[in-house]
Chains A and B, each alone.
Chain A
Amino acid sequence: MNNLKNPCCYPPPAPDGRAELIHVDCASHVYPNGSVGIHHMCFRVMEREIVALCGRNGSGKSTLIEHVNGLLRPSEGKVVVNGQTIGSDQTSDLWKDVGVVFQNSDDQLFAPTVLDDVMFGPLNLGMQREEAHNAALSALSAVGAECLVSRLPGYLSGGEKRLVSIAGILAMQPKIIALDEPTSDLDPAHSRIVENLIRKLRDVHGISVIVATHDLDLAARLADRVCLVQNGSICAEGSPEEIFYNDEVVQEAGLLHPEVVRIYRAYCERTGGYGRKHPLTVEQLIDALIV
């Protein structure tokens, strides 16, 4: 447990050649109504990394995401994104480096057509119309939604809206994309499409991804690193295996273990003792059970 505790001051980045893109240093945020959004939050994201922020509703995941995009500024502490430091009294252009895909796609898709919406960000970046148009088409193609280019956002399905929302951010070519509950309200097929797309963002586009989710199965399958968020702070972080096979930290965050972990544990209890393997995906579970 102790070695999974979130350090408030991170050590320098590991010498594996990857740069640190986001560093949230002991940041706190109090909303105007007095409620605490985040509290002594320490968080970092490395280059080409998928980080899962897992926590219950209202734990502070979305507030943290809005800080790294610059929508919110910390009341205390600082947020450093790609070398740009933001404190409580500074305005920011963090949105150029960190794109946010909101939980409710209807909040994000406001323009008359899909093309208008996807071009919105690039135009704000100062691209010429032709350049923005090409960036939009390219982003739509990357998410497999090029056929939706002239459609009206209001008439898209939930899955299509989510893909277009991601394209709207991808078109801005950010270094980091934060997705707030990316698979909530989606059917399994669209969830899988979005999940694969997140991997593609890291592997093909070289983008770091923050996934805020309470779907621990998704986090287990997807993340390179998992941060458990509770009461506005990160209460534990580590690899998915370290986190999800640790009862104490999962229970402390008020979460349930991923399905695969529960099945594997139940199987081990029935058959006697824990296995040496720690499966996190269905494929790994099958391998572990066959052995």
Chain B
Amino acid sequence: MSSGTFAHIPDLPLMTHYAENTRSVFSGVSPWSKIVSLILIVVLVTVLRSLTLLLLLYGAIVAACVLARLPLKKILLWYTLPVLFVISLVGLLAWGEPGNPVFFWSFIGIPLVLTDAGLLLIGVLLIKALIVVTFSIFFLMTTRYNHIAAVIDRIFPDPLNQIFLLSYRFLFLTIGMTAALLKAVRSRGGGLIRSIRIQGQIFAQVFALTFIRSLDRADRVHAAMAARGYHGTYATAHEIPAPSYAGMIFLAAAAAGTILIVLATGISSPGGFL
């Protein structure tokens, strides 16, 4: 899935491979610490408006990715979809922002002005999205699957935890099936893009087959679970490592810093540093 046409789509099996096999300073950090960090980051990203501070935060997360020996080139490719998503939304709003004109364009008699404030809005929202995306990737690529599963099991109530746990496993099966189908298409000279051009139905066929096979597989998985007495609940077996003392001190400091920033943001003027 990760090669060629699909290099821009986050590769879940590759992420899991890194989480399972790469040992770095972050592998031993408790998943709880990472989740609390993610929550603090989401809060910060929500309240911060300063591009400088956001860039500093983004730089810190990228530095963490480097320390964790994650593949930055691949992560950059995975930015494609979030970047497109943000630009498709903010790209329209940015044209109406008041400020110093940077670019002027007339479209069928309607004047369109892009100001410095509009560009800043695009930059700020883009960097906010990338902060959350990068940290989420960092979390998934440095946390073992059994810990993620156990965290999901603990956090979500029944039946949401069951749905999440089964969906996560099922996602791998579906990705595997799609990859196998595409391989079969390629093995006979086809290709998703090429085949769409030559034979428009192929795209729909591949995805329809994936869904049909997924349903069939789901049916078999359920039968196999029922054969072992499944009646609607199962729990993960693994304990989640608790945060270390150093981790707790870091989290306490980060939480205090976040609260201070939130409070400061509340009393600062709209155009202020924060």
Residue numbers of A with Cβ under 8 A of B are 66, 69, 71, 93, 95-96, 99-100, 102, 104, 106-108, 110-113, 115-116, 119-121, 123-125, 129, 132-133, 136, 150, 152, 154-155, 168-169, 172
Contact = CB atoms under 8 A, between A and B. Distances in A.
Given A69-B227, A71-B227, A116 B237 contact: yes
A95 B227 contact: yes
9 contacts: A66-B223, A111-B149, A112-B145, A115-B146, A120-B230, A124-B229, A154-B176, A168-B228, A169-B228
A95 B229 CA distance: 6
A92 B80 CA distance: 52
A130 to B, nearest CB: 11
Contacts of B250: none
The CB with the most chain B CB atoms within 10 A, among A71, A112, A123, A124, is that of: A112
Given A107-B220, A129-B237, A112 B20 contact: no
Interface string B147-189: 0111000000000000001101100110010000000000000
B145 A111 contact: no
Nearest to B152: A112
Interface in B1-46: 13, 16-17, 20
Contacts of A150: 146
- Interface majority SS (helix, strand, loop, mixed), chain A: helix
Nearest to B220: A107
Contacts of A71: 223, 226-227
Contacts of A93: 229
A121 B173 contact: no
B207 interface: no
Nearest to A103: B220
Contact of B149 (A112, A120, A168): A112
Contacts of A69: 227
Contacts, number: 99
Contacts of B176: 154
Contacts of B145: 112-113, 152
Given A116-B238, A123-B234, A168-B228, A111 B169 contact: yes
Given A112-B145, A113-B237, A95 B223 contact: no
B225 interface: yes
B236 interface: yes
Contacts of B235: 123
Q: Which 7 pairs across A and B sit closest by C-beta, in order of nearness?
A: A124-B229, A112-B149, A121-B228, A107-B220, A108-B224, A113-B146, A100-B227
A124 B230 contact: yes
Contact of B221 (A110, A113, A115): A110
A96 to B, nearest CB: 7
A31 B69 CA distance: 54
A171 to B, nearest CB: 9
B223 A121 contact: no
Given A111-B169, A113-B145, A116-B238, A155 B20 contact: yes
Given A66-B223, A112-B145, A115-B237, 7 more contacts: A71-B226, A95-B226, A107-B217, A112-B146, A116-B146, A116-B238, A152-B20
B73 interface: no
A123 B223 CA distance: 17
